[in-house]
Amino acid sequence: MRKIQLLLGLLTLLSTAEVSAMPEPVGSYDDGELIDGACLPATGAGYMQLFRDVDHIWGTMPLIRMISRTGREMNERFPGRDRMQVEDMSGPDGGPIDPHGSHQNGLDVDIGYFKANGLEHDPKKTGQQYAPSMVEGGKVSQNFDLPRNWAFVKTLHKHGSVQRIFMDQTLKRALCAYAKSSNDYAANIEVLRSIRHVDNHSDHLHVRLRCPPGAKRCVPQADPPKGSGCP
């Protein structure tokens, strides 16, 4: 009995230590910090890290789980295609990172769009060089893999408490039209609602999660206006 009590005590201490060391988002997305941040592994099932030289690969556990599970599911659904390419998250302790105004509390991540030509970028290349724009002459590039990118944004929502996905308005319009043409619109109003236009997001999208439950020092952002925002 004594040995069992000691073992239970040890397990309790380990459990407490793990909880206290869990990543914590503090403050807001554009004025915050990250306590005990978690580092995303360089590669995983269906994803790869880019920009490895700048050490912007830290986040909260909800963000890490969303990336890992989304990469795995996209790989299972579209085997043999290019992997999900993860760009900037947050710094080791959060706070400002160049060239972003947000990405400060472990709840933001930039990810490249899936491309029809299947190009994967060199993860060892230094400097933050985003993929070519998916909008050319005001129109969606043929290299923008529409079916996979629609599946992608839905899968992000499936595996994370996504509040916003920032992308170019031209690309959102294309996703709206695709959802309607494939009878997938009504079931995904909230997914489309989360997609918001921000300049300079025609070569990657930016995913933002809500403050996790229990993160008392995280400052939430108001949800987007109701409705899909589609034309």
Percent of the chain residues topping a pLDDT of 90: 81
Quick check: is 224 in a domain? Answer: no
Quick check: is 90 in a domain? Answer: yes
Percent of the chain residues topping a pLDDT of 70: 89
Beta pairing class for 84-86 and 47-49: parallel
Quick check: is 229 in a domain? Answer: no
Specify the CATH number for the domain of residue 33: 3.30.1380.10
- The overall average pLDDT reported for the chain is 90
Quick check: is 2 in a domain? Answer: no
pLDDT digits (tens, 9 = 90+) for 166-186: 999 999 999 999 999 999 999
Beta pairing class for 195-197 and 162-167: parallel
Domain encompassing residue 58: 23-209
So what's the pLDDT on residue 127?
A: 60
Quick check: is 141 in a domain? Answer: yes
Quick check: is 164 in a domain? Answer: yes
122, with CB counted inside 10 A (0-12, 13-18, 19+), is: exposed
- Is residue 225 a contact partner of residue 46, using CB atoms and an 8 Å limit? no
CA-based end-to-end distance of the chain: 68
Average pLDDT over residues 1-14: 39
Quick check: is 215 in a domain? Answer: no
pLDDT digits (tens, 9 = 90+) for 210-226: 999 999 999 999 999 99
Q: Using alpha carbons only, what angle is made at residue 155 by residues 72 and 24, rounded to the nearest 5 degrees?
A: 80
The amino acid occupying position 57 is: I
| Lowest-confidence pick of 80-89, 127-136, 166-175, 193-202 | 127-136
In the chain, how many domains are there? 1
Tokens of 162: 């996504």
So what's the pLDDT on residue 125?
A: 74
| Lowest-confidence pick of 33-42, 127-136, 218-227 | 127-136
Instruction: Say yes or no to pLDDT of 129 above 70.
Output: no
So what's the pLDDT on residue 231?
A: 93
Quick check: is 218 in a domain? Answer: no
